[in-house]
Amino acid sequence: MNHFRIIFLGFLATFASSWLGLVLLPSVHYGNEAAKLPPTTSTAESDLLRRGEQVYSANGCVYCHTQQVRPFAFGSDDERNWGKRRTVAADYLGDAKALMGTMRTGPDLANIGVRMPSTSWHYKHLFEPTSTSPGSIMPPHRFLFERKPVFNGVPDADAISIGPNGEQVDATGHQWVPTADGRALVAYLISLQRSAVDRPEASEAPQK
Amino acid sequence: MTEEAKLRSRAERAEIDAKAAGPVMQFFISALFWLLAGSALALIASLKLHSPTFLAEQDWLTFGRVRPAHLNTMVYGWATMAGIGVALWMMSRLCRAPLRGVGWLHVSALLLNIGNAWGTYGVLTGGSTSFEWLEYPRAAGLFLSAAFVPLIIVFADMARRRQAGHIYVSQWYLMAAIFWFPWLYLTAQALMLWQPVAAPAQAPMNWWYAHNALGLWFTPICLATAYYLIPKILGKPIHSYYLSVIGFWSLAFFYAWNGMHHLIGGPYPAWLISVSIVASLMMLIPVVTVAVNHHFTMRGSFGALRTSPTLRFVVFAAMSYTIVSVQGSLTAIRAVSRVTHFTHYTVAHAHMGMYAFVTMMLFGAMYYMMPRLIGKEWPSRWLIRIHFWGCALGVLHYWIILSIGGIKQGLWMLDPSVPFLDIVQRMLPYLEQRSWAGVAMTTGHIAFAISFIWLLMSKSNQDTGPTLLGKTNNQKSIV
């Protein structure tokens, strides 16, 4: 073959086929599905969750945590209590970006809000992961907290426990409270309850 | 060939090399900088996985930012810029058309450098998109996209001015790569960052992009390099023209459909995943044809590996291509993926592709090209040896240790009687070994950087003959 023009048509045809199948088709299909969702209005809460999603993606949580529950026949997600059913595409329709992840250095988070509904647990865990999860290799996220002096001996309502007996104030009279980013991230994590709604397309044939 | 024709052909090559030298060296020097930056980021990220409190105070050095910064500087800084340098020179040689538009190529390199610097800064300061392989924030993507405009024009210009006759398989690969990659990159930028589509459609697009960035951008450039340099160094033609045709078109058709195997077990309809599993298995066709073709070209000449630095890197890379591709096809099978998906096995596999294949191939090409571009020979065979063995042993250790660790990690995760935090602890020895492998590769990179800078600074030493790694009877012909 010595004609670039003919070869070039080959480049175009092979590539365009995958572009149509893997890019255009899913975009149109899921775009139509998303359009069927009831319109949402922006509220203080939805803004907070959006910001939390942003903090999640800016700090790369996705490199160690997935947000997808595998089919029960395809792993131990069920036994590990990671969700009461597999996740399906419709569970992600309301998201701004796909953060399904491909790595489980840490556990799946698709339903972390069901498993760990406590705000204070998440703050403690983000501040010092090994304090709640011994042996964890998650990096501490101190930068999501600020160190502030305590006035009148009463710490802020969301000051985290830093001492061995749950003390919120250290020896120099300082406390650690979550920043706005920290609060948004924890609100987002607690909102992750992707298997909460039943969906017919997520049902699997009984295994036993 | 008569003596006169030989002289004319040598003069023609010298003119082509002289025209290419300026822009190609600008791409290479930039690539070297990003290679070192990417290595430093890699080591930090790797250390953090077994020493999580290391550099944990500042947000810009947290694992989730350093890791994507490493990947993107390596992909768009190192491999893309080195790959473009190699592709420009090879295309010019194969078309026998001296480069035109040199000024625009300098602009292109500048845009890539700005894009990479901006992108890395953006990722480290909290602007990462968290789309794998596309973490650079939007503005950086604009610079990277713009850099390809002059490149497409320069490549099309060379193709148009090529001297009549046979189009060699390397030219197909290069023209395809320069056509496919901008389309890939613009699609991903437009539909994921500029005007994002619905979230469930983003993950398939993400993996269509990321898999094809390797398969339809780096792979064609590196296969073109192997097809060009192996016969060139050995002084004999490629084994089979027909195999190279089959290899090219089966790659073009099947590779583009591979990406969804990253979503096996994910929240998608079965057909979408299955089509990629089938395409991944079909990749055995191009891989085996290329491997057979290169093997039969090399047959009887493996002794040259003892002496030629270029050939050593290129053949190591070509063999890695076969291994990583066969491994990729097998991993796409559901029963295998059930174990290996979500584990460090995938990380090992990715480094076999982007490093043992792509990076080593680019090193090999640079060893061949630079003496020709700047008329000086490599200053030290010891530095070349440290470079080769540091990188080769480092990446093999990396691949073996994380593959074994990853399979174990996968099996433990499938067994609900093993608590999750136990798995985290059991993985620590493998993660520590990964850091040692990283130290070995980085040592190789530093040796290469010293060699590179020494070569640039040294006085002309052309009359000493090429720098070889051992004694040969036919010194002039093998570099």
Contact predicate B76/B115, CB 8 Å: yes
Fill in the DSSP letter of residue B239. Answer: S
Look up residue A114 and give its two tokens: 């069901």
Residue of chain A whose alpha carbon sits nearest to that of B176: A11
Residue in B58, B198, B266 nearest the CB of A30: B198
CA distance A123 to chain B (A): 16
Name B390's Cβ contacts closer than 8 Å, sequence gap at least 6: B440, B441, B442, B443, B444, B445, B447
Q: What are phi and psi of B308, to 5 degrees?
A: -90, 115
Contact predicate A193/A114, CB 8 Å: yes
DSSP A152-199: TT---TTPPP-STT---S-TTSEEEEE-HHHHHHHHHHHH--TTSS--
Determine, for residues A75 and B338 on separate chains, whether the beta-carbon distance falls below 8 Å.
Answer: yes
The Cα angle at residue B348 between residues B346 and B349, in degrees rounded to 5: 60
Q: pLDDT tens, position by position, for chain B (479 residues)?
A: 678 888 988 999 999 999 999 999 999 999 999 999 999 999 999 999 999 999 988 999 999 999 999 999 999 999 999 999 999 999 999 999 999 999 999 999 999 999 999 999 999 999 999 999 999 999 999 999 999 999 999 999 999 999 877 889 999 999 999 999 999 999 999 999 999 999 999 999 999 999 999 999 999 999 999 999 999 999 999 999 899 999 999 999 999 999 999 999 999 999 999 999 999 999 999 999 999 999 999 999 998 998 999 999 999 999 999 999 999 999 999 999 999 999 999 999 999 999 999 999 999 999 999 999 999 999 999 999 999 999 999 999 999 999 999 999 999 999 999 999 999 999 999 999 999 999 999 999 999 999 999 999 988 765 667 888 876 655 444 44
Q: Is the pLDDT of residue A4 over 90?
A: no
Residue intervals in chain B for CATH 1.20.210.10? 221-461
Residue intervals in chain B for CATH 1.20.120? 10-165
DSSP B78-89: IIHHHHHHHHHH
The Cα angle at residue B215 between residues B209 and B220, in degrees rounded to 5: 130
Q: What is the pLDDT of residue A2?
A: 63
Name B147's Cβ contacts closer than 8 Å, sequence gap at least 6: B108, B109, B111, B112, B115
Cα distance from N-terminal residue to C-terminal residue, chain B: 21
Class of domain B10-165: mainly alpha
Determine, for residues B199 and A87 on separate chains, whether the beta-carbon distance falls below 8 Å.
Answer: no
What is the amino acid identity at position B467? T
Contact predicate A84/A113, CB 8 Å: no
Distance of CA B194 to the CA centre of its chain: 27
Determine, for residues B420 and A107 on separate chains, whether the beta-carbon distance falls below 8 Å.
Answer: yes
The verdict on A33 touching B (C-beta cutoff 8 Å) is yes
Half-sphere exposure of residue A190, counting CA atoms within 13 Å on the CB side? 16
Percent of all residues in chain A with a pLDDT value above 90, rounded to a whole number: 76
CA distance B169 to B203: 33
Residue A167 pLDDT class (50, 70, 90 cuts): confident
Could you please state the CATH topology (level 3) that the domain comprising B221-461 is classified under.
Cytochrome C Oxidase; Chain A (1.20.210)
Among B51, B130, B412, pick the best mutation site for testing chain A contact (most A Cβ within 10 A).
B130
Between A27 and A3, where is the model more confident?
A27
Determine, for residues A15 and B275 on separate chains, whether the beta-carbon distance falls below 8 Å.
Answer: no
Element (H, E) at B203: helix B199-213
Residue in A87, A97, A134 nearest the CB of B202: A97
Q: What is the dihedral of CA B244, B250, B260, B395, to 10 degrees?
A: -10
CA distance A156 to chain B (A): 23
Residue B80: closest CA among B31, B20, B135: B31
Residue A166 pLDDT class (50, 70, 90 cuts): confident
Contact predicate B267/A68, CB 8 Å: yes
Look up residue B447 and give its two tokens: 């040796």
CA distance B448 to B429: 29
Determine, for residues A31 and B198 on separate chains, whether the beta-carbon distance falls below 8 Å.
Answer: yes
Residue in A18, A59, A76 nearest the CB of B65: A59
Determine, for residues A33 and B48 on separate chains, whether the beta-carbon distance falls below 8 Å.
Answer: no
Region A195-208: what's the mean pLDDT?
Answer: 77
Q: What is the pLDDT of residue B144?
A: 98
Q: Is the pLDDT of residue A194 over 70?
A: yes
The verdict on A59 touching B (C-beta cutoff 8 Å) is yes
Determine, for residues A140 and B56 on separate chains, whether the beta-carbon distance falls below 8 Å.
Answer: yes
Burial class (CB in 10 A: 0-12, 13-18, 19+), A3: exposed
Among A137, A145, A176, A179, pick the best mutation site for testing chain B contact (most B Cβ within 10 A).
A137
The verdict on A172 touching B (C-beta cutoff 8 Å) is no
Determine, for residues B67 and A58 on separate chains, whether the beta-carbon distance falls below 8 Å.
Answer: no
Chain A positions in Cβ-Cβ contact with residue B252 (cut-off 8 Å) = 10-11, 14-15
The verdict on A81 touching B (C-beta cutoff 8 Å) is no
Determine, for residues A97 and B343 on separate chains, whether the beta-carbon distance falls below 8 Å.
Answer: no
Q: Of how many residues is chain A composed? A: 208
> Which residue(s) pair with A145 in the sheet?
A178
- Domain positions in chain A are 52-202
CA distance B281 to B329: 5
CA distance B313 to B308: 9
Q: What pLDDT, in 10s, does the model give residues A61-104?
A: 999 999 999 999 899 999 999 999 999 999 999 899 999 999 99
Q: Is the pLDDT of residue A208 over 50?
A: no
CA distance A196 to A150: 40
Q: A52-202 falls under which CATH superfamily?
A: Cytochrome c-like domain (1.10.760.10)
Determine, for residues B343 and A95 on separate chains, whether the beta-carbon distance falls below 8 Å.
Answer: no
Determine, for residues B175 and A143 on separate chains, whether the beta-carbon distance falls below 8 Å.
Answer: no
Determine, for residues B62 and A59 on separate chains, whether the beta-carbon distance falls below 8 Å.
Answer: yes
> Mean pLDDT in chain A?
92
Look up residue B435 and give its two tokens: 């850091």
Q: What is the pLDDT of residue B475?
A: 44
Chain A positions in Cβ-Cβ contact with residue B246 (cut-off 8 Å) = none
With a threshold of 0.90, tell me whether the complex ipTM lies above it: yes
